[in-house]
Structure 1
C-alpha cells in the first residue's frame, strides 16, 4: 500500500526523518559527486535527496506516482515535480543521465515495470540508484516511518530484480543502523550507530542502496540444438506367401483349395 505524500513530508520534517535523509544522502552524494552537465530525475519521493544536485546538474526533476500524491518542489520557486500514472514516465527515450528511486520499489505492485521504464528513459551509460528497505532490518518492522510500508528486499532479491530488468549492479551500500524511534537519546547517538554499523559491516541496516548501470544489449539465450531425427527408410509392400511341395503357391490366409 503506498504511503500518502502528506505523511512522507511530515516524516522528513521530523528529527528522525532528517537523520534518515542525512545518512542516505551521504552515500548518494559520495557515489554521484559530480553531475555537471547531466540530467537528474528522482522517482517516488526523492525530493529530499535532490537538493545537492540543483546547483550543478543541467536539469533536476521529481516524478511522483499518482497513488502517493504530489508536492511542490523546490519551495519558493517554479515547481520541478510532475505526477506519473502507473509508473509510465512522461519522458523521451534516453533523456535522463541519473535516476534516483526512493520510496518507489517497496509500495508498487509491479517493480519490474517501473524499472523497465527507468531503463527506457536512461541514456546510454546512464546510472540509477535504488534505495529500498532492508527486509532484515528493524525499519521494515515498524510502520511509524515510510520505510515500514510495502515489500522490503534482501540484497540478493534486489540484485536479481535489477538483472531481470537489464541493469548491472555496480556497488551496494547500507544506511540507517539507528533504531527507528523518536527518542532523544537514540537520535543523539545516530552518528555513532552509522559509523559502527559500517565499520563492522553489521547486518540489519534499515535500507539497501544499489547503484546500477543500464545494459545496452539484451543477453542472447542459447537454445539447445534439437536432436537430429534420422529418416526411416521407405517401406515397400511385399507379397508374403508359402509354397507347398504338393501344391501351387498359396497366399497366407487363403483357404486351402
Structure 2
C-alpha cells in the first residue's frame, strides 16, 4: 500500500514531540489515556511492547502486564528506563513472543504503515492482542486536515480510515474485537475557541459512528500456535527367561506306544 505523502520519521520526530507538548497535544494524550484505561486492564500476559513516535510518552500505565517496554525511533532525554531505540519497521524482537502490542500513532507517522503493522503482528503471540491508537479521519480533525494547505504536524500524518485498518488487520489474520474513539473538540489551538465548542462533545457522542479525533482499535491474533514435534518415547522392554514345558506322564506313555 502506497501513500501520496512520504514521511521521514527521523526528520519529523522533533516536530512531533513539540506538538505533543503543546496544550492541544496534551489534551489529546489525556483523552487517549482515559480510553486506554478502558481497554488495557482487560488484556493480560507477561510482555507488553509499545511502539510509538515519541519515546517520552509511555501509554501503558493501566496495563496489568508486568514486563512493559517502550520502543521509540530516537534516543531522547526523559525516556522511560524500560525504553529501547529501534526502527518501527524492523523490530529487534523475536516472533510470537509479545502478549500485548500497543501502537501509539506509529502508523500515522510511518513511511510504510503496512510494514509497521506487519512487524507488530509478527512479534505478537497467537492469542495476543494489538491495540492501535491513531488519528481518526472521520472527525472534525479529519475535516481540518483536508482543508489545510500546509501539512504540518500532526496534519502531515496519514490519518488511516477505520475501514482500511480493518482490511489490513484481516490480511494479517488479526480479528478486531473492539473499537472506540474520543475527543470531539475541533483542533483549535486557542483554548477559548475550544471551550466555546464544548457543545460538540455532547452532539458527537450521539453520532452512530466513531467521530472522535482519537481512534482506538483492539484486535486479536487468531493464528493457532505451532506445537513442536517431540521425539517419540520408546519404552525399554525387560527380557524375561523362556520357560520350556516339562513332559507329563500322559505324554511319556504316548511316546512309548509309538
CA contact (8 A) 1:116 1:165 kept: yes
Quote the offset at 1:191 in angstroms.
6.9
Paired residue for 1:103?
Answer: 105
**Structure 1 unaligned blocks of 5 or more:** 219-257
Paired residue for 2:229?
Answer: none
Paired residue for 2:204?
Answer: 197
Paired residue for 2:217?
Answer: 210
CA contact (8 A) 1:174 1:207 kept: yes
SS state of the match for residue 93, structure 2? coil
CA contact (8 A) 1:12 1:48 kept: no
Paired residue for 1:125?
Answer: 127
Quote the offset at 1:209 in angstroms.
1.5
CA contact (8 A) 1:176 1:207 kept: yes
Aligned partner (choices 137, 141, 163) of residue 139 of structure 2: 137
Q: Distance in 2 between matches of 1:25 and 1:38?
A: 21
Change (3 A) 1:214 1:145: farther
SS state of the match for residue 94, structure 2? coil
CA contact (8 A) 2:28 2:214 kept: no
Q: Distance in 1 between matches of 2:202 and 2:172?
A: 33
Normalization by structure 1: what TM-score?
Answer: 0.70
Q: Which has the larger radius of gyration?
A: 1
1:220-239 to structure 2, matched below 5 A, reads none
Number of equivalences = 211
Paired residue for 2:242?
Answer: none
Aligned partner (choices 157, 164, 172) of residue 150 of structure 1: 157
Q: Distance in 1 between matches of 2:94 and 2:126?
A: 13
Paired residue for 2:90?
Answer: 88
Pick which of 176-185 and 36-45 moved more. 36-45
Normalization by structure 2: what TM-score?
Answer: 0.69
Q: Distance in 2 between matches of 1:206 and 1:161?
A: 21
Paired residue for 1:170?
Answer: 177
CA contact (8 A) 2:16 2:154 kept: no
Quote the offset at 1:60 in angstroms.
1.6
SS state of the match for residue 19, structure 1? helix
**Structure 2 unaligned blocks of 5 or more:** 1-6, 226-258
SS state of the match for residue 61, structure 2? helix
1:62-77 to structure 2, matched below 5 A, reads 62-65=70-73, 69-74=74-79
Aligned partner (choices 44, 48, 52) of residue 57 of structure 2: 48
Paired residue for 2:235?
Answer: none
Pick which of 2-11 and 188-197 moved more. 188-197
Q: Distance in 2 between matches of 1:201 and 1:189?
A: 24
Q: Distance in 2 between matches of 1:2 and 1:190?
A: 34
Once superposed, what is the RMSD of the aligned Cα atoms? 2.9
Quote the offset at 1:72 in angstroms.
4.2
Quote the offset at 1:14 in angstroms.
2.1
Pick which of 104-113 and 190-199 moved more. 190-199
Quote the offset at 1:213 in angstroms.
0.6
